[in-house]
A and B are shown apart, each in its own frame.
Chain A
C-alpha cells in the first residue's frame, strides 16, 4: 500500500475508533444522583450494610436483610409520636412510590424502624406505616439489639423529659439509608430531600 493511502487508512480507523468511543460513552451511566452517593464519600466513610438485628414486623416475624435481596431498601428510623418529620418523610416516600411504575415501585421496600419501643408496639407500627402506604414495613427493636442497630447506622437518639402527661419528644438522626438490590448502601437521603429527587434516584437505582 502506498504511504498516503496507509496514512488515510490509519486516519479513518482513528476517526472510527473515536466515533465508537463517543457513542459508547453516551450509553454508559452518566446519571447524576441528587442524593448523597456513598461512593463519593471517600474510602474511610462508614458504609453500613443492611443489618436488621432481629427486628420484628407487625406480625411478630423476624425480618432479615436476606428477605430483601433484589429489592431497593429505604431504611428510616423514627417514632410514631413524631408529629412532623417522620410523617413528612413517610408521606414523601409514599408520593415517590406513586410516581413510579408498578414494576419499579414493587421493588422499593420502605422499612421504618422505631427508636421508641416504649410507646411503639409491633402492631401499632404496622398500623402506622400502613396509613401511609400498604407496602411499608414497620420494624421494632428493643434493648441491646436496638442499641447495636443505632450504633451500626449512626442513629443518634435522645429522649426528652416526659411532661406531666408522660409524653416526651425523641430527637433522632434523620438519615434515610438507601440500599441497592445487592444489599449494599448506595445513597444517603434526608427528610429535606424533595419528592422529585427521591423519585429520580430511586427510579434509577431500582429500574
Chain B
C-alpha cells in the first residue's frame, strides 16, 4: 500500500496524457534564449480503430503555436507549415528534432527550465488531448 503513490506517479510519468485511445508521450519544449521561437516535440500514439487528424496545438504560454515540418530538399533546409497531419489507426506520429515540430512564438512570460507548460492538441473531429510539456534547455536532445 505504501508503494501505491509511487506506482501511480510512475504510471502518470510514463503516460503523460491519454484520452480516447490517444496517448501523448515524452512531450517537451526546447526553450531558446530571449524570446526566440521554441520547438515543441512529442510522440502521439493512436490506439483507436480510427485514423485521427491533428490540426493544431493551443499553448497559452505563447502567443502563437503552429505545426511545422522541417524538410531537406537538395541540401536546403526548409520549414513548411502543416495544416493537418493524420495519425493512422493503431499508428503513431513523432514530433521530433529535425522533423515535425510545434513552432512556439512570442512567449507571454519568461520560462524556467524544468517547469512545464500545458498544451492542448486539437483534432479535426473536434476532440482534444492535453499534455504538460517539459521545458528543457537549448542543448537538450529529448524529453529526458
Contacts and interface: CB of A to CB of B under 8 A. Distances in A.
Interface of A: 80-85, 87-88, 90-92, 94-95, 124, 127-128, 131-133, 156, 165, 167, 169, 171-175, 190-192, 195
B27 to A, nearest CB: 16
Contacts of A169: 78-79
B139 A174 contact: no
Interface in B66-85: 68, 70, 72, 75-79
Interface string B91-108: 000000110010111100
Interface in B13-62: 30, 32-34, 36-39
B30 A87 contact: yes
Contact of B101 (A84, A128, A175): A84
A173 B73 CA distance: 9
Main secondary structure of the interface of B (DSSP, over half): strand
Nearest to B73: A171
Contact of A174 (B76, B106, B140): B76
A91 B72 contact: no
Contact of B39 (A84, A131, A133, A195): A84
A87 B72 contact: no
Contacts of A132: 138-139
A131 B97 CA distance: 17
Given A131-B33, A131-B137, A131-B138, A83 B101 contact: yes
> Which 5 A-B pairs give the minimum distances between C-beta atoms?
A88-B97, A174-B77, A83-B37, A131-B138, A83-B39
A173 B139 contact: no
Contact of A83 (B78, B104, B137, B139): B104
A175 B98 CA distance: 14
A152 to B, nearest CB: 15
A187 B133 CA distance: 37
B32 A127 contact: no
B79 A95 contact: no
B141 interface: yes
